[in-house]
Structure 1
Amino acid sequence: MFVNSAAQVTNLKPAGAQPIGDALMARKRIRQEGRQRGVATLRALLLLFTGTLLVLVLAASFVTSYNFFRDYVSGQLAGHARDGATAIGLSLSNAIDARDPVASSSVIDAVFDSGRYLSISYLDHHGNEIAGRSIGLQQAEVPAWFLVVVELPLPVARAEVVRGWNRLGTVEVVSHPGRAYEDLWRISIWLVASTLILGGVGLVALYILLRRTLKPLGELEKQAKALGQRDFRQRVTVRSTRELNQVTEAMNQMTDDLGRLFEGQAKLIQHLRKVNNEDPVTGLSSRSAFDQRLKVEVESEEKAAPGVLILMHLAGFADYNQAYGRAEADRLLLQVAAVVDEFTSQHADAFAGRRTGAEFAIFVPGALPADAGVWCRELVTRVDGVYADLASPMDTAVHAGLARTQEGQGIRDLLSAADEALRVAQGSEETTCHHTDGGKDGHHNLETWRVIISQAIREQNLSLWLQPMVCENLSEPFYHQVFSRITSPEGTLKAGIFVPMAERFGLIADIDRLLIQRVLQRLQSDRNRSLAVSLGSASIASESFRNDVIAMLESAGPLASNLWIGISEQTIHHHRTAVGQLMKALERLRIPVLVDRFGVGGVPFSYLRNLRFQALRIDNSFIHDIDTHADNRFYVESVIGIAHSRGVRVFATGVETAAEYSVLCGLGIDGAMGYHLGRPYAADNHSTGD
């Protein structure tokens, strides 16, 4: 059901480390995005087209109406002139002697003063004026430019003056266009105002209609972008036309189908992880999974931390199984596992597993032998109570053996020491614990550790060590993982040694504050490098720490985007709200976040649906001997496939051999880190050795 996504991997690079080809592709993508931003929207195109059509219709209506009124007033002017010419001609022909200039002038003056005329002339046969009157156009109450633009025609009306059969002359009359210009001016103002009002109202109504009609397209764009980011929660609820409603329903259905597909894949991967790494009866780690993780904790050069291994055994379990049956025996083991699981939840990074039958193994990192002895006695007492209640009236006992880690000690030596202590404890018929070294604290006691860590914080005695995250297709590391170290009277202490103690004393937030401060200073001096840090669970759970870190990152400006923040999967599981708040702030600052120690603890895979991580970093325990461990290889391949389908990169840690790295590259890993690929080195001297 899972597809190897090796061919689909897209690798990112730290600033300044991009190959030339990738840089050209980036510039090409930027140009394409720029052209895309320049393309007009569908709403703008429809608004432009329909609006232009509306404006053209209104403009055509305006021109048509204007020309009609202009022709109308021009006709009125011509008719008025003809009427005036006819009346004057008749008056001169019948009322007076038209051959008398004085009498003719009096008639023309009377008509001119009583009417709206521009000029009246009485001409003889030779075209000489006998009498006449005229005025200019200044009397029209319209703008001067309007007279020039409109320029109405001024037709000349003529009438003959006769006496009997004798033709005495001709009367020429031109009507005054002032009133016509004023009427045409008022009509033009009304036409322009009505056109603008109708056009404006029409365009606004068109804009509102298009905005409402095309609103689902904006929601569809958001949904498409969410799908591109593998977020299947976005839904389009806006209703519009039938066609757009059908499109939105289809998109919502596709989103639901993709979401269900992702959930199915996540559940299947989680089930496979349980089958391969969990005990089917108790739900604790299986023997092989526990030993693999213990080997990473004990033998890894960078992660190796002091701690105590506890082997616990239920005495007489075989008799209980025979007396009560397998179902009751499984029920007993399940209740004991619940007590063990509660015990590990009370101690940071502790983990447990079922080894064989009624034997359980628990590793508590950072625990001092004396404290572990007290905790072990409390644990076996609680387990004995559960055992005795279910096995009554049988006699019961719970035995435990403790062994602490030693420098240079392997997992076999540690298991042998714990097993030896368990055998000694089994020599007693009573519930008891036994420690191989009698519970001595070893090199440092509790108070000494507190002084060392507190002094390091107070004096800011923290050094940075870097280890490259290597990408097969890149010439430069994807980023460098930062490890912190402090100096004690006995020498340099690695984070794997003092961090568990700092968490126990409640000082891990101060350590992480100092770490972020130093890393940001490092980025200031080396701007072309990306760095990654992992934050403690207690730090992320602290609101004051989150506020301080965000303030430091904001003050760092754009440079902070070169920093990767790692959050362990267990922290995500136990502090989901705090992690969500931190991630929102980091997303606003464009700071990438990765899931650290992915796969540890059986945390449900579904958090990838609600939280936008940029990468996963698979825990060392799944990488160790992956070239010979088919179950882990299949699990990692499945995780890579589903992570890539959501746009999340996958990194691996703890790569110790060429065979492991070759298998990971074949599975499509985005980056890997380990002693085979590069050892940690001090940030200040750029050495490549430890």
Structure 2
Amino acid sequence: MQNTEAEERKPPDGVKGIVSLQLVLLVFAGGLILMLLVTTVAIGFVGFRDHMVQELENHANDGAVAVGLSLSNAIDGNDRVAASSLIDATFDSSRYLKIRYENIAKGFVIEREAALIPPGIPEWFVQLIKLPSDDFRKTAQVVRGWQQLGTVTVSSHPAQGYVVLWLVMRQLVFVALIIGAAALLLLWLILRRTLRALTNLEVQAHAISKRNFRARAPAAGTRELAKVTLAMNQMANDLGQLFEGQAKLIQHLRKINNEDSATGLVSRRAFYQRVRTEVDSKDIYQRGVIALIQLGEFGQFNHEHGRKQGDLVLRQIAEPIRTFVGQYPGSFAGRLNGAEFGIFLPGVTAVDGHFWLEELIKTLDGVYSDSATGLEVAVYAGVAVVTEASDVDSLRAACDEALLVARAGAVTRCVLHEADGPVANGPADWQALLVDAIDNERIMMLFQPLVRASDGQVRLYQVQSRLEVDGEWVPASVFLPMTERFRLMARLDRLVLARVLKLLETHPDMNFGMTIGSSAVADAAFREHLQSELTSAGALARRLWFNVPEAAVYHHRSDVGALVGMLRRIGGRLIVDRFGVGGAPFSYLRNLSFQALRIDASFIRHVDSIPDNRFYVESIVPIAHSRGVEVFVAGVETAAEWHELVKLGIDGGTGYHLARPVEQL
């Protein structure tokens, strides 16, 4: 089952559970603010309580004097009924806790007393502030003339004090909470703005640790952090330039190791390595033809005109060869040694390939003859057909035999090695068969898992197509060159796209990858159709990866740029496929926004034992990762290769060792 990738950013190892600096400062400053507010509230409340105690004492004193005067002058203090009525009237005001009138002359006592706890006030609050009730008790004398009738004692009821203090405390706490919350919010905003520079620096440092030197931290608000930010940005810039220089150095070393210095074509070793990958790989079955081309009498030409002129002729010969292979997708050519060249044409028939090569030989003969004035020169070619049973050694031997036959005539000639095998369809037949298969949607899809290097789980399923041609299910390696030649790739890719979008709907936990042909990339109508379909698909497009051959990037740069821009807006992802053999310079790692590259199988074969292949992969991985680009590989066929690739830091790969293509998911 496909494991979806988590997009969220995880904290670096070893820092989980550590309190952030912002939280520490916020807690510390918040604690100080809280202490200040609590102290302020406490001081204010205690002061108001003291004021309330004084008010209640004065109230008790005034009450005692007023009742005493009333009993002394207004009514007869010896009249029990009248005195009781006066005390009841005074007590009913609910402002007194206790009123006691003791008449000495008549010997009676009148007393009224209320409950201490006022209604609506929590008992804990009463116990907490506990007003001194004894201080609220005041006594006055009751007299008539010079005769003392008795004493009246009045105690103010603290209920009003508790009510007022309860209200004041709630108001103080509410105001303190508002002020505290506002202060904490302001503090949080200040800390967030101030420490944002540290967060940016953390992100930048994490990016640098992943060798992504494009990340730049914005200028900080404080002088000290601004200096640190400037230093980090300068370091990232210096490291980026260092890696850029390393990329150029690797490109240069790659040219030295894999390209012929005189002609710019691939070297003998690189040519046969790619042929071996195309012919021997278990992942693909590649039909086509291979040709060896020789310039006759080149040794004599060098002797008469000099080596410098000879190198010039080799470069002139290489130009039409380079133009020739550029016309046929997937083909490549190399200088093998001296005046010998090799050409591989995938997917073509023997008759078709022989015809095209004869035309090329005539062109080369004209270039060679124009330079070799005064000499009888010729160009020879031996052509062999790639079959399912072919290997590199047998193909080389077949080409040598055909080349010997061509040289025997001492005239420019292209000889096809006769090999037993089925008669292949001609170009016209192929075109008709392909159009019929596409129109009738006789297509079958296989799914090859791309396995993650980190945990061995499936990252995505690479879609491979088969067409039913003349009653036989033909692999893509056979029909794709013809499909490209006849400009049918856009129609085929539309058909594949429709089926892949349905798969995304029925398999919501899986990612898929499909290849877009070079001619489809260059087709503006196809790109518009692709944009329309992906826009309609919505979120499904984010689980679809598009493979574009590196050769398409090199030959259709503006079209690929338009495709990349469209995918970036919609959310689709792009893989540069067959990386390393398309001829595009490293600079497009910086100029194009793509998510992954897949190194060609020719660099993966025997990567555990061929130092040049290992060096190439080892060099590509950190450069790609520094740009935020994942590195996949193709053609992993042994456990030793996979083990070495995982050590080199690749992100995932495909190949028969990892998983074979399947028809059902």
Structure 1 residue 287 corresponds to structure 2 residue 271: no
Structure 1 position 348, deviation (Å): 1.6
- Quote the residue 2:285 is aligned against: 303
- Quote the residue 1:72 is aligned against: 51
Pick aligned residue for 2:468 from 473, 476, 487: 487
Structure 2 counterpart of 1:577, one-letter code: G
Q: Following the alignment from structure 2 to structure 1, what is the Cα–Cα distance between the partners of residues 453 and 131? A: 86
- Quote the residue 1:54 is aligned against: 33
For 1:242-257, list aligned pairs within 5 A. Answer: 244-245=225-226, 248-249=229-230, 251-252=232-233, 255-256=236-237
Q: Following the alignment from structure 2 to structure 1, what is the Cα–Cα distance between the partners of residues 508 and 156? A: 88
Q: Following the alignment from structure 2 to structure 1, what is the Cα–Cα distance between the partners of residues 65 and 505? A: 102
Structure 1 position 73, deviation (Å): 2.1
Pick aligned residue for 1:403 from 383, 392, 399: 383
Aligned-residue CA RMSD (Å): 5.8
- Quote the residue 1:619 is aligned against: 601
- Quote the residue 1:598 is aligned against: 579
Structure 2 counterpart of 1:287, one-letter code: R
For 1:168-247, list aligned pairs within 5 A. Answer: 168-174=149-155, 187-188=168-169, 191-192=172-173, 194-227=175-208, 230-241=211-222, 244-245=225-226
Are the aligned partners of 1:384 and 1:398 in contact in 2 as well (CA < 8 Å)? no
Are the aligned partners of 1:299 and 1:411 in contact in 2 as well (CA < 8 Å)? no
Are the aligned partners of 2:604 and 2:633 in contact in 1 as well (CA < 8 Å)? no
Q: Following the alignment from structure 2 to structure 1, what is the Cα–Cα distance between the partners of residues 395 and 500? A: 34
Are the aligned partners of 1:311 and 1:422 in contact in 2 as well (CA < 8 Å)? no
Structure 1 position 209, deviation (Å): 0.9
- Quote the residue 2:103 is aligned against: 124
> In the TM superposition, what whole-angstrom CA distance separates every residue of 1:351-378 from its partner, at most 9, and x where no partner exists?
2222344554443434565587468747
Residue aligned with 1:353, SS? strand
Q: Following the alignment from structure 1 to structure 2, what is the Cα–Cα distance between the partners of residues 197 and 527? A: 49
Are the aligned partners of 2:68 and 2:141 in contact in 1 as well (CA < 8 Å)? yes
Structure 1 position 335, deviation (Å): 5.5
Q: Following the alignment from structure 1 to structure 2, what is the Cα–Cα distance between the partners of residues 70 and 216? A: 49
Are the aligned partners of 1:465 and 1:680 in contact in 2 as well (CA < 8 Å)? no
Structure 1 position 193, deviation (Å): 5.2
Going from structure 1 to structure 2, the CA distance change for 1:321 and 1:330 (only over 3 Å counts) comes to farther
Residue aligned with 1:205, SS? helix
- Quote the residue 2:430 is aligned against: 449
Structure 1 position 491, deviation (Å): 3.7
Residue aligned with 1:123, SS? strand
Are the aligned partners of 1:424 and 1:434 in contact in 2 as well (CA < 8 Å)? no
**Greater Cα offset, 175-184 or 408-417:** 175-184
Q: Following the alignment from structure 1 to structure 2, what is the Cα–Cα distance between the partners of residues 475 and 189? A: 63
Are the aligned partners of 2:352 and 2:427 in contact in 1 as well (CA < 8 Å)? no
Residue aligned with 2:264, SS? coil
Residue aligned with 1:683, SS? coil
Pick aligned residue for 2:148 from 142, 149, 167: 167
Structure 1 position 307, deviation (Å): 4.2
Going from structure 1 to structure 2, the CA distance change for 1:173 and 1:668 (only over 3 Å counts) comes to closer
Are the aligned partners of 1:614 and 1:649 in contact in 2 as well (CA < 8 Å)? yes
Q: Following the alignment from structure 1 to structure 2, what is the Cα–Cα distance between the partners of residues 245 and 186? A: 50
For 1:69-108, list aligned pairs within 5 A. Answer: 69-86=48-65, 101=79
Going from structure 1 to structure 2, the CA distance change for 1:634 and 1:648 (only over 3 Å counts) comes to same
> In the TM superposition, what whole-angstrom CA distance separates every residue of 1:183-224 from its partner, at most 9, and x where no partner exists?
657755753454244223312211211221121243244335
Structure 1 position 544, deviation (Å): 4.2
Residue aligned with 1:200, SS? helix
Structure 1 residue 158 corresponds to structure 2 residue 142: no
- Quote the residue 1:273 is aligned against: 254
Are the aligned partners of 1:532 and 1:566 in contact in 2 as well (CA < 8 Å)? yes
- Quote the residue 2:346 is aligned against: 365
Residue aligned with 1:349, SS? coil
- Quote the residue 1:344 is aligned against: 325
Name structure 1 gaps, 5 residues minimum: 1-13, 17-25
Q: Following the alignment from structure 1 to structure 2, what is the Cα–Cα distance between the partners of residues 295 and 106? A: 125
Going from structure 1 to structure 2, the CA distance change for 1:205 and 1:489 (only over 3 Å counts) comes to closer
Structure 1 counterpart of 2:33, one-letter code: L
Going from structure 1 to structure 2, the CA distance change for 1:298 and 1:578 (only over 3 Å counts) comes to farther
- Quote the residue 1:5 is aligned against: none
- Quote the residue 2:244 is aligned against: 263
Q: Following the alignment from structure 1 to structure 2, what is the Cα–Cα distance between the partners of residues 153 and 213? A: 52
Going from structure 1 to structure 2, the CA distance change for 1:551 and 1:308 (only over 3 Å counts) comes to farther
- Quote the residue 2:400 is aligned against: 416
Structure 2 counterpart of 1:403, one-letter code: V
Q: Which has the higher contact order (CA 8 A, sep 6+)?
A: 1
Q: Following the alignment from structure 2 to structure 1, what is the Cα–Cα distance between the partners of residues 237 and 217? A: 12
Residue aligned with 1:289, SS? helix
Q: Following the alignment from structure 1 to structure 2, what is the Cα–Cα distance between the partners of residues 526 and 112? A: 88
- Quote the residue 2:635 is aligned against: 653
Q: Following the alignment from structure 1 to structure 2, what is the Cα–Cα distance between the partners of residues 105 and 674? A: 114
Could you state the TM-score of these two structures normalised by the residue count of structure 2?
0.72
- Quote the residue 2:663 is aligned against: 683
Are the aligned partners of 1:470 and 1:672 in contact in 2 as well (CA < 8 Å)? yes
Q: Following the alignment from structure 2 to structure 1, what is the Cα–Cα distance between the partners of residues 99 and 607? A: 116
Structure 1 counterpart of 2:287, one-letter code: A
Structure 2 counterpart of 1:65, one-letter code: G
Structure 1 position 577, deviation (Å): 2.3
Are the aligned partners of 2:286 and 2:478 in contact in 1 as well (CA < 8 Å)? yes
Going from structure 1 to structure 2, the CA distance change for 1:145 and 1:669 (only over 3 Å counts) comes to closer
Structure 2 counterpart of 1:683, one-letter code: E
Structure 2 counterpart of 1:411, one-letter code: L
Going from structure 1 to structure 2, the CA distance change for 1:477 and 1:376 (only over 3 Å counts) comes to same
Going from structure 1 to structure 2, the CA distance change for 1:314 and 1:217 (only over 3 Å counts) comes to farther
Name structure 2 gaps, 5 residues minimum: none
Structure 1 position 75, deviation (Å): 0.5
> In the TM superposition, what whole-angstrom CA distance separates every residue of 1:491-518 from its partner, at most 9, and x where no partner exists?
4433222110011122223334545666
Going from structure 1 to structure 2, the CA distance change for 1:160 and 1:470 (only over 3 Å counts) comes to closer
Q: Following the alignment from structure 2 to structure 1, what is the Cα–Cα distance between the partners of residues 563 and 22? A: 40
Structure 2 counterpart of 1:234, one-letter code: A
Are the aligned partners of 1:509 and 1:536 in contact in 2 as well (CA < 8 Å)? yes
- Quote the residue 1:6 is aligned against: none
Structure 2 counterpart of 1:124, one-letter code: N
Structure 1 position 239, deviation (Å): 0.6
Structure 2 counterpart of 1:78, one-letter code: E
- Quote the residue 1:19 is aligned against: none
Are the aligned partners of 1:403 and 1:421 in contact in 2 as well (CA < 8 Å)? no
Q: Following the alignment from structure 2 to structure 1, what is the Cα–Cα distance between the partners of residues 57 and 506? A: 92
Structure 1 position 170, deviation (Å): 1.4
Going from structure 1 to structure 2, the CA distance change for 1:422 and 1:254 (only over 3 Å counts) comes to farther
Q: Following the alignment from structure 2 to structure 1, what is the Cα–Cα distance between the partners of residues 316 and 105? A: 137
Structure 1 counterpart of 2:411, one-letter code: G
Going from structure 1 to structure 2, the CA distance change for 1:396 and 1:641 (only over 3 Å counts) comes to farther
Q: Following the alignment from structure 1 to structure 2, what is the Cα–Cα distance between the partners of residues 33 and 334? A: 54
Percent of aligned pairs with the same residue?
34
Residue aligned with 1:57, SS? helix
Residue aligned with 2:437, SS? helix
Q: Following the alignment from structure 1 to structure 2, what is the Cα–Cα distance between the partners of residues 126 and 48? A: 71
- Quote the residue 2:527 is aligned against: 543
Going from structure 1 to structure 2, the CA distance change for 1:314 and 1:252 (only over 3 Å counts) comes to farther
Residue aligned with 1:355, SS? strand
